[in-house]
């Protein structure tokens, strides 16, 4: 008969085993060790940021994340790409659980994509005190000038009657830095829609971008402004990971997936050469010889010849 203490130990042991199934502790420990090495060379984290907790939280999210074929990304993406994406996330001081970034799977690889919330968090970390964005409607009075390569807002006068989602002509974001200086980003509606088309799930005449055009326009111009702050004031480690994540915006995800599937499936089928029956020839003649390689090639698809 097991004692109460033994039962308690058994329950604790089962709990540890269950946790091991949920989170690959050895994998997380390996990434944590790499982060410690980076810290020796100058990598720092925000005071309220726990990299180990961020890694474990992200791993749990990945266990529930599927690729376009409905398979878990932990099974279909290479371990190296998973490790690199999680390292980039932590190096930037972001959290998947807080929706500051999210995983993107394509071509057998996993990438970390920075979200609107992540862009703002990083900008605040590197000196942004206030971040304010506004939409420009047809009929508004909007003026700005350029001074030493920076845009300076002169005037934006908006009439309440001008507010119409179908008459948005642009948006802007003004970032006030801790030293009192400002940085301004302006985008017209064509630039904004071009940025949307590079994203995931965008539909021209339906969906979130259609129903909440003003809010999505503000998010787009805000993210663009914050990127400039991060790239200008961020530390070298964060900027390197940030630029890697930004490169994802120019990747043709569909083309990458197609190329990967072709590569994976090119040699998955076995091609059996057709058996050619021997034709009985008169004994007085030399038997006709069949070139085996030519016979096999005749039945292979063009790309296998």
Could you give the C-alpha distances from 198 to 117, 166, 192, 194, 250, in angstroms and in order? 18, 21, 10, 7, 7
pLDDT over threshold 50, residue 124: yes
d(CA 186, CA 176) in angstroms, rounded, equals 15
Give the pLDDT of residue 259: 53
Q: Is 294 a residue whose pLDDT tops 70?
A: no
- pLDDT, greater one: 269 or 28: 28
User: Residue 62: which pLDDT band, with cuts at 50, 70 and 90?
Assistant: very high
State pTM to two decimals: 0.72
**Which pLDDT does position 47 carry in this prediction?**
86
pLDDT bracket for residue 8 (50, 70, 90) = low
What does the pLDDT read at residue 204? 76
Element (H, E) at 72: none
The CA distance from 256 to 173, in Å, is 33
Query: Scanning the structure block, which residue is given the tokens 């964005």?
Result: 133
Please check whether residue 79 is in contact with residue 91, taking contact to mean a CB–CB distance below 8 angstroms: no
Predicted pLDDT of residue 265: 59
3-state secondary structure of 282: coil
pLDDT band at 244 (very low <50, low <70, confident <90, very high): confident
pLDDT grade for 81, boundaries at 50, 70 and 90: very high
- Alpha-carbon dihedral 280, 281, 283, 289, rounded to 10 degrees: -100
Percentage of the chain modeled with pLDDT above 70? 72
Write down the pLDDT at residue 203: 76
Average pLDDT rounded to a whole number, residues 285-298? 41
In this prediction, residue 271 carries a pLDDT of: 46
- Cβ–Cβ < 8 Å for 261, 67: no
Residue 202 has pLDDT above 90, yes or no: no
Pairwise pLDDT comparison (4 vs 105), residue with the higher score: 105
């Amino acid at each position: 008969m097991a004692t109460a203490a033994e039962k308690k130990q058994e329950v604790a042991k089962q709990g540890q085993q269950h946790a091991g199934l949920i989170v690959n502790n050895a994998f997380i420990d390996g990434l944590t060790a790499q982060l410690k090495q980076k810290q020796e060379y100058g990598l720092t984290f925000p005071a309220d940021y726990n990299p180990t907790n961020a890694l474990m939280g992200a791993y749990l999210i990945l266990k529930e994340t599927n690729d376009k074929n409905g398979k878990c990304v932990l099974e279909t993406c290479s371990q190296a790409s998973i490790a690199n994406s999680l390292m980039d996330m932590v190096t930037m001081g972001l959290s998947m659980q807080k929706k500051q970034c999210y995983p993107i799977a394509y071509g057998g690889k996993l990438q970390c994509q920075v979200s609107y919330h992540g862009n703002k968090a990083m900008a605040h970390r590197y000196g942004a005190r206030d971040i304010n964005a506004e939409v420009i409607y047809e009929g508004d009075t909007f003026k700005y000038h350029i001074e030493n390569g920076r845009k300076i807002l002169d005037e934006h006068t908006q009439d309440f009657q001008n507010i119409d989602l179908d008459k948005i002509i642009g948006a802007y974001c003004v970032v006030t830095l801790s030293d009192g200086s400002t940085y301004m980003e302006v985008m017209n509606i064509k630039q904004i829609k071009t940025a949307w088309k590079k994203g995931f799930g965008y539909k021209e005449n339906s969906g979130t971008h259609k129903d909440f055009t003003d809010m999505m326009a503000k998010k787009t111009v805000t993210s663009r402004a914050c990127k400039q702050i991060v790239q200008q004031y961020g530390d070298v480690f964060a900027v390197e990971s940030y630029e890697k994540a930004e490169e994802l915006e120019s990747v043709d995800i569909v083309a990458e997936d197609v190329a990967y599937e072709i590569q994976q499936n090119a040699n998955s089928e076995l091609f059996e050469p057709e058996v050619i029956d021997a034709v009985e020839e008169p004994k007085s003649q030399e038997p006709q010889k069949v070139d085996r390689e030519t016979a096999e090639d005749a039945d292979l698809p063009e790309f296998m010849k």
